[in-house]
A and B are shown apart, each in its own frame.
Chain A
């Protein structure tokens, strides 16, 4: 009997230690580390006249205080991760600001002390004299260039990009109906429960730097640190241990602490640790989602979209360390699952005096989906048509794949959907949603989306069968809760015919696997999952070759089942995988048995040296997977909500999700991803708002006032799946990490619009916002 792990609801292997309190998060690592505290700018824009650290340095317990002047790399701009030809005015911050600060929370000085208490006390004694400068906070003000964020960036425009498919002007002119619409999406914050943290140790004896970092990309951190400190990469090890949620901002690098903590450890010869507190997380960690869209849509009387033009401003924040990936994604995803024959999109990525932006779960997509879905809702109401019917008339059909949208994508290719069945998503969601519940002020919301997932360039994996018969596997990308150790084990166990419990996976540790990119863009299952598959298959092939000699059989006639390599279907002609592992290495193992088979005195099935040319010892392999292009997942969400017309409290009566991410590795894990994503979407749609004031101060930088939903705000969510496998990768999988969050804003807006009869063109909403909108309507 063959067990297939792929597709089974295997319970997670990582739970036990996490449940016992034996997880290992970065701040859990002590080892006598010194602790640190930043001095951060209280101003959103100011010139620094002077910094006086003398009082802080004299505080008992203080070991060092650094300003830019104390750093060999103090004059260096931090790296711009993803340059782009259209990013003509990219700017990045310095590790510590010394002349100008451009957002409240920008780092100015760094205190290292015996413990965090002493470091915080000393940070308060660092005297920085600021000369405040005028600020631009909103994307509109940034685009109007009321003030400049960077003196040498005219109009605050970091980048501009224009793309057109078809002939929008002509199509718009001849369209029977036209409408201009304006949509506004505000910034949001990922807010993982664990903030960021870095721990570093320098071993002078070994000339080796060890860094623990709550990052989504330890391999990239390692590469950067090696260059910065002039060390061979082999002397730098970076480990993302247990990471308490990421959702995007932890893929950003380098945050100043990621340089300062290792630097201080090298300078001071002691382990050094910095752990962010929640308040600084709100301003020092990248945010996302601020965009303003000016849309014109041309359509006919049947509701078919003939042309769509979108001119939007992306709030880049004070710097562009992550390039212009976000607006590129938005521009590429506005058409979504619909046939838009003539599409033009222009964006400007503008500087504002606010925290820089980089991807947060959804990354440019929720806003894109909002623009398209809200436009379709408008068309439906204008024509008096059913909202579902308007969507039906515009959806790409199941026989139209691959479907080329014709605009640029984040991986440098164009947007080409590989597979899917969008009409089926819609019909199934409507079926699950059922009839509208009775009562007043109840509205239905609907949203369909696509999600480009699994971008390259590549990931790799190493798989090895130990002489015990157990399997170890490693990949470079870390997990922030996505159960990588379980799902990779499933993939590997299938190829090697072993129990999933016998596969131990390590991820995000450059000591175990030093190549790779990172966990982002819903790419883990596609890139690392397929790399695991490739590597495990190479091991299986090698096992068959070695076993074939022993069994005097053709490798093609062998299979790996139940921890053995055997002649297909045979119960007696086979050898344990453990024995094959022994045979693969022609030396002696003192423990573990099986040595008699591998000594030089054993009868040799073949002549010549123990290793023939090109052969390698060990039952192991390293494999890589590099996707030819993104693979496109899709889904449809639908909901009924009730809004109290006096308190504007939101009650979600029913929420359904139909989701297609190709072949599913583990339905339990997938369900968790969707449920968590929808909850984040609901938070972002109705509860969480970053309240910046006119001076660029974030007025609600705490969980008291930035309202992440508790269980009481999140309804049960009904989920259904179907699978249109991706033709692009061997496993047929697509990513699922961001799916849950993407259409929620559009769905909630649509439902509230119907419930209250007031037009909704912005996100996030709140009871107060609905009150204001309803007053406007009167």
Chain B
């Protein structure tokens, strides 16, 4: 499987979860595990561009696919990805444990809705739990991320946004 653009050898044990494989075999510990039963969304990564819960997949199921984790969004020393930047500007994180999952979900959300309205924002992040922020700052961060993201659709004035 490819993770953040790098080809890795097959995971060893067939029962190894993708989340454990990423964290403990590849050392990509930015993907977090909050429940291991598919509810909290802390473990969200992109599989071929779409958000999935890595705790609900076996690592072997990801073979032949492209996985993107939080570490792949912005290289070391490079500027933050617009979604990361927006979370920073809007105080969209406190403890930061849920954050990689949220960021990956929002990257997925903005790919679908480059300029999401209020309802699309709530639905786009409604698969992720955060116990610290109460979500208000995360909603602000999603709006801000849409502004910061280069979006050809918005330039054409498709007018998807608004409240």
Chain A interface (Cβ < 8 Å from any Cβ of B): 11-12, 14-16, 18-25, 27-28, 30, 115-117, 190-195, 242-245, 247, 277-278, 480-483, 668-669, 671-672, 675-680, 702-704, 708, 710-712, 714, 716-717, 740
Contacts and interface: CB of A to CB of B under 8 A. Distances in A.
B1 interface: no
Contacts of A717: 134, 136
Interface of B: 13, 15-16, 20, 23-24, 27-37, 39-40, 42, 69-71, 73-74, 76, 80, 84, 87-89, 91, 93-100, 103, 121-123, 125-139
Contact of A245 (B35, B36, B121, B131): B131
Question: Which residue, A193, A245, A740, has most C-beta atoms of chain B within 10 A?
Answer: A193
B13 A117 contact: yes
B95 A703 contact: no
Contacts of B133: 672, 675-676, 679
Contacts of A21: 28-31, 69-71, 100
Question: Which residue, A18, A191, A245, A680, has most C-beta atoms of chain B within 10 A?
Answer: A18
Contact of A702 (B37, B130, B134): B37
A680 B134 CA distance: 7
Given A19-B80, A194-B32, A244-B97, A11 B37 contact: no
Nearest to B13: A117
A193 B129 contact: yes
19 contacts: A11-B88, A18-B93, A19-B70, A19-B96, A20-B76, A20-B80, A22-B30, A23-B97, A242-B97, A244-B95, A244-B98, A245-B95, A482-B94, A669-B91, A676-B131, A676-B134, A680-B131, A703-B40, A717-B134
B13 to A, nearest CB: 7
B87 A19 contact: yes
A702 B35 contact: yes
Contact of B96 (A14, A27, A669): A14
A247 B134 CA distance: 14
Contacts of B95: 192-194, 242-245, 480-481
Contact of B93 (A19, A675, A678): A19
A534 B81 CA distance: 39
Nearest to A243: B95
A715 B153 CA distance: 29
B115 to A, nearest CB: 18
Contacts of B33: 27
Contacts of A191: 131
Contact of B134 (A19, A712, A714): A714
A760 B130 CA distance: 29
8 A-B pairs with the lowest CB-CB distances in the bound complex, closest first: A21-B30, A244-B97, A481-B95, A679-B134, A18-B96, A481-B94, A21-B70, A703-B39
Given A482-B94, A668-B91, A678 B130 contact: no
Contacts, number: 178
A16 B37 contact: no
Contact of B88 (A12, A482, A671, A672): A12
A359 B106 CA distance: 34
Given A117-B13, A245-B132, A703-B35, A11 B89 contact: yes
B126 to A, nearest CB: 5
Nearest to A190: B131
A30 B34 contact: no
Contacts of B121: 711
Contacts of B103: 19
A30 B100 CA distance: 20
A244 to B, nearest CB: 3
Contacts of B134: 672, 675-680, 714, 717, 740
A672 B30 contact: no
B88 A193 contact: no
A16 B80 contact: yes
A242 B96 contact: yes
Nearest to A740: B134
A711 B139 contact: yes
A710 B128 contact: yes
Contacts of A16: 80, 88
Nearest to A23: B96
A554 to B, nearest CB: 43
Nearest to B123: A712
Contact of A708 (B27, B84, B129): B129
Given A12-B93, A672-B137, A675-B133, 6 more contacts: A15-B88, A18-B99, A28-B29, A481-B96, A482-B94, A716-B136
A245 B136 contact: no
B45 to A, nearest CB: 10
A284 B18 CA distance: 26
Contact of B138 (A27, A244, A483, A711): A711
A273 to B, nearest CB: 10
Contacts of B88: 11-12, 15-16, 19
A665 to B, nearest CB: 14
Nearest to A704: B39
A528 B35 CA distance: 33
Nearest to B41: A710
Contacts of A243: 95
Nearest to A675: B134
B97 A12 contact: no
B37 A703 contact: yes
Contact of A20 (B32, B70, B89, B128): B70
Nearest to A711: B135
Contacts of B70: 19-21
Contact of B126 (A11, A481, A711): A711
Nearest to A683: B131
A11 B141 CA distance: 13
Given A20-B74, A711-B122, A278 B35 contact: yes
A195 to B, nearest CB: 8
Question: Which residue, B15, B28, B129, B134, has most C-beta atoms of chain A within 10 A?
Answer: B134
A12 B27 CA distance: 26
Contacts of A716: 136, 139
Nearest to A674: B134
